[in-house]
């Protein structure tokens, strides 16, 4: 089968490309412009996979360009991962976030509906659409209220709801995934956990003193491995999709402090001092979040397989190797 991945040069996209290639599928990757950035994914994509990927070029905000992509080649499915996905950035540039995440997604949905109505779309939504729902410690289900607490979450919620309406109206085939926190190799250093790993790798290289700048270590998250997360996306693409929205979440809630301390332990460094940096705090922080993935598990038999220690170790190794390249 032939699949298109938007956002293939981002965080999850390369891992999804690896999985699709290993399963024998043809992979196309959409890139905003042909400036060579596609080569960036070689840090997690082996050459055998990279050389098989066909890259196509279009800005999702340009409706005519997106329409051309869907005219040029037929796809069995589209994994729509492209987004401005950093919540703090969304506070600084809410309009740009809306343009990227809402207008770009609406253009893609329309192009698929117009040109390839049998093509299934997976829209990568986010647990951020729930905001502070679930702070009482309960599992958040797909039927809980959408109450985003930042512009990024609001932008994803808008497309999430729009896609549900388009699917219900039988204009397009598709579903949304609301992935909860996940990390692993290639996670940007402006995101929590990866920020810690990046700084600790610099310490290991002797590039930085042993003061580790951190944000709120008391908030609680369930963190999965990105490779488990994209496997859920793939299994849902293959399924019959009995519903239009699925939570994708790990199993064990932990305070963010746990991940910081475990990364320090894995590094073997002594004397690392975490220090709260006000710039790493969100204006509005989600205090506790744990999702119910029952629908996903019942439909696909998915479960997270990768232990958190392996995830953190692989993330730290990724940054250590990248800093030495």
pLDDT digits (tens, 9 = 90+) for 276-323: 888 776 555 678 899 999 999 999 999 999 999 999 999 999 999 999
The mean predicted confidence, pLDDT, of the chain is 95
Q: How confident is the model over 219-240, as a mean pLDDT?
A: 97
Residue with tokens 């051309």: 68
Q: How confident is the model over 139-163, as a mean pLDDT?
A: 96
pLDDT of residue 269: 97
Instruction: Tell me the CATH number for domain 194-219+253-288+313-324.
Output: 3.90.25.10
pLDDT exceeds 60 at position 143:
yes
**Residue 91 exposure: Cα atoms within 13 Å on the Cβ side:** 12
pLDDT of residue 325: 67
Q: How confident is the model over 133-143, as a mean pLDDT?
A: 90
Is domain 2-184+224-251+289-306 in CATH 3.20.20.70, yes or no? Answer: no
Q: pTM for the full model?
A: 0.95
Closest by CA to 215, choosing from 137, 283, 262, is 283
pLDDT of residue 7: 96
Phi and psi of 117, rounded to 5°? -65, -15
pLDDT exceeds 90 at position 183:
yes
pLDDT of residue 279: 78
Q: Each residue of 85-114: pLDDT tens digit?
A: 888 899 899 999 999 999 999 999 999 999
pLDDT of residue 86: 87
Are 13 and 37 within 8 A, CB to CB?
A: no
Q: How confident is the model over 37-62, as a mean pLDDT?
A: 96
**Residue 114 exposure: Cα atoms within 13 Å on the Cβ side:** 14
pLDDT of residue 153: 95
Domain locations in the chain as residue ranges = 2-184+224-251+289-306, 194-219+253-288+313-324
| Cα 231 from Cα 300, distance rounded (Å) | 10
């Amino acid at each position: 089968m032939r699949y298109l991945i938007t956002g293939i040069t981002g965080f999850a996209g390369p891992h999804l490309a690896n999985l699709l290639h290993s399963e024998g599928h043809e992979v196309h990757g959409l890139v905003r412009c042909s400036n060579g950035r596609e080569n960036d994914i070689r840090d997690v994509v082996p050459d055998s996979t990279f050389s098989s990927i066909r890259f196509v070029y279009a800005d999702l905000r340009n409706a005519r360009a997106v329409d051309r992509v869907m005219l040029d080649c037929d796809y069995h499915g589209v994994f729509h991962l492209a987004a401005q996905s950093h919540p703090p950035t969304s506070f600084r540039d809410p309009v740009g976030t809306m343009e990227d995440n809402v207008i770009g997604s609406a253009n893609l949905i329309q192009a698929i509906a117009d040109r390839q109505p049998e093509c299934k779309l997976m829209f990568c939504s986010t647990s951020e659409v729930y905001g502070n729902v679930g702070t009482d410690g309960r599992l958040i289900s797909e039927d809980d209220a959408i109450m985003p607490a930042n512009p990024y979450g609001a932008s994803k919620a808008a497309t999430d709801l729009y896609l549900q309406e388009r699917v219900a109206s039988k204009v397009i085939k598709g579903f949304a995934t609301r992935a909860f926190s996940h990390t692993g190799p290639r996670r940007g250093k402006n995101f929590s956990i990866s920020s810690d790993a990046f700084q600790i790798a610099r310490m290991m290289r002797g590039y930085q003193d042993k003061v580790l700048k951190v944000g709120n270590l008391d908030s609680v998250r369930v963190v999965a491995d990105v490779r488990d997360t994209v496997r859920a996306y793939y299994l849902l693409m293959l399924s019959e999709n009995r519903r239009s929205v699925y939570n994708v979440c790990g199993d064990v809630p932990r305070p963010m402090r746990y991940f910081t301390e475990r990364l320090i332990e894995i590094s073997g460094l002594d004397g690392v001092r975490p220090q709260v940096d006000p710039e790493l705090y969100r204006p509005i922080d989600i205090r506790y979040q744990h999702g119910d993935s029952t629908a996903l598990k019942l439909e696909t038999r998915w479960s997270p397989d990768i232990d958190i220690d392996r995830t953190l170790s692989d993330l730290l190794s990724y940054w250590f190797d990248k800093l030495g390249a």
